[in-house]
Chain A
Amino acid sequence: MFKSLGSLVTRSPWIYRLNAGSCNGCDVEMATTALIPRYDVERLGCKYCGSPRHADIVLISGPLTLRVRDKVLRVFDEIPHPKVTVAVGVCPVTGGAFRDSYTCDTALDQYINLDVIVPGCPPRPQAIIEGIAKALEVWKERMEEGACSRS
């Protein structure tokens, strides 16, 4: 039904930040990307939202520590489809500097499908914007395929 709207719909990505036990480095860079006039993501139509129910693009940071694992997965389920996940930093993919730590048993990508990965420790704001641009492509493809519902 919405297949032809892909290019219009992807001009309004609302972003939600999900911290899966990150060291806060990536979160600081994400806050920088969101807030300071130099990077102004609102040009792309982005808006940072506080509620997972409003989100389209999820920026995940952190290696998924055992303590937050269930909560992160629960919040992730609250996000309505179609959603695109962007891993910010290397932690969600491999664990980065926290690999083999006793606080995390396995990396985040064993639980959540990561659509776009922005490596870095932390990545610079421009790289995060580049990741968001890639995520918009993924979203558009999904809208065209129509493969974006929960069922």
Chain B
Amino acid sequence: MSNILEATFALLIFPGGAAALALGLFLKGIDRRVAARLQRRVGPPLIQPALDILKLCTKETLIPTTANEAAFILAPVLGLAGVLVTAALMPIGGVWSGVTGLGDLLLLLYLLPIPAMAFMVAGSASSSPYGALGFSREMAIMFAYEMPLIAAFLACGARAGGVGEAAMSLQTIMNYQYANGPLLFDPVMLPALAAMIIFIPGTMSVGLFDIPEAEPEVIEGPLLEYSGPLLAAFNLMSAVKLVIVLELVVALFWPNPLGSSVIVNLIWHVAKCLILMLVTVTCFRVSTGRLRLEQGFTVFVKYAAPLALVSLGLASILR
């Protein structure tokens, strides 16, 4: 009984559900504010993303007559539900152990593409040519950025695992780091870290990799036909996705808590996520333009994936 209660609490309040939504909107607010400062502007108030969500909920929902109505409505709802579940599974060093057991890294590998999948379903269900373009771009870029992600997972697992076996469990990787210091300061893992830093803007579609949603080109692609609460669901989804991706990289490379106090650890965790976001999302999107689809593909296949593979190789040899 207490297990069920605990799981419900984790899914609905902390660390999934409400806490993940709040953290995501907070990070988005900081992102917009800092981006404005980098462009010598004042920027919106910190609660602007939450105000946007509230505003969208009061708007009318329009559904194109040619769209597949069920898929059109279900895509954002399922996407949001998927990321909220994933957020409950993410471990927070010293606060929450997340999903435990063997192979939770594989589970995450299956859960991470859910937002991208929701995007694709939305793009194809909206029956708009721009949505279809966004759909095909999202799919192509997803194939590209999954490669360095898997290679980096394997590298971390190989580094943390015992002789002859890679640990496909976040908990094992985190325990290894508690014992031997964070992987961030491990020279063998630096290429994998670089690969993950390229992966974050790729999966969040910002800066160089703003390819599926490119506003001037395909007018926000799959989101073009969405309005009102459904668009709000997509915005929330992308905010929580940001949280998940940042928490994943923090867990893989620097999960070490600051002390034994839960509050301090939580603040420390948020601070790490914030710094990671400022570097990989905010500064990146302010200072770079957009690549073409095949150029973006090349970045992942030619640079990010080999970097992660180098780490994997080194970690396997230097065990």
Chain A residues engaging chain B, CB cutoff 8 angstroms: 2, 5, 8-9, 11-12, 14, 37, 40, 42-43, 45, 47, 49-51, 53-54, 56, 78, 80-82, 143, 149-150
Contact = CB atoms under 8 A, between A and B. Distances in A.
Contacts of A82: 58-60
B60 A56 contact: no
Given A40-B42, A42-B44, A50-B216, 8 more contacts: A11-B48, A12-B48, A14-B55, A42-B43, A45-B51, A49-B215, A50-B224, A51-B224
A54 B45 CA distance: 20
A12 B42 contact: no
Interface of B: 32, 36, 39-45, 48, 51-52, 54-55, 58-62, 215-216, 219-220, 223-228, 231
B220 A51 contact: yes
Nearest to A151: B60
Given A37-B39, A80-B60, A50 B54 contact: no
A43 B55 contact: no
Contacts of B40: 37
**Interface SS, A side:** loop
B60 A150 contact: yes
Contact of A80 (B43, B59, B219): B59
Nearest to B228: A80
**Interface SS, B side:** loop
A50 B218 CA distance: 9
Contacts of B231: 53-54
Contact of B51 (A2, A8, A54): A8
A83 to B, nearest CB: 9
Contacts of A12: 48, 51-52, 54-55
Contacts of A47: 52
A56 B51 contact: no
Given A5-B54, A12-B52, A42 B32 contact: yes
A40 B60 contact: no
30 contacts: A5-B54, A8-B51, A8-B54, A11-B48, A12-B48, A12-B54, A12-B55, A14-B52, A37-B40, A37-B41, A40-B36, A40-B42, A40-B43, A42-B42, A42-B44, A43-B42, A45-B48, A45-B51, A47-B52, A49-B220, A51-B220, A51-B225, A53-B224, A53-B231, A54-B220, A54-B223, A78-B62, A80-B227, A81-B59, A143-B58
A43 B36 CA distance: 10
B48 to A, nearest CB: 6
B219 A43 contact: no
B41 A5 contact: no
A43 B231 CA distance: 22
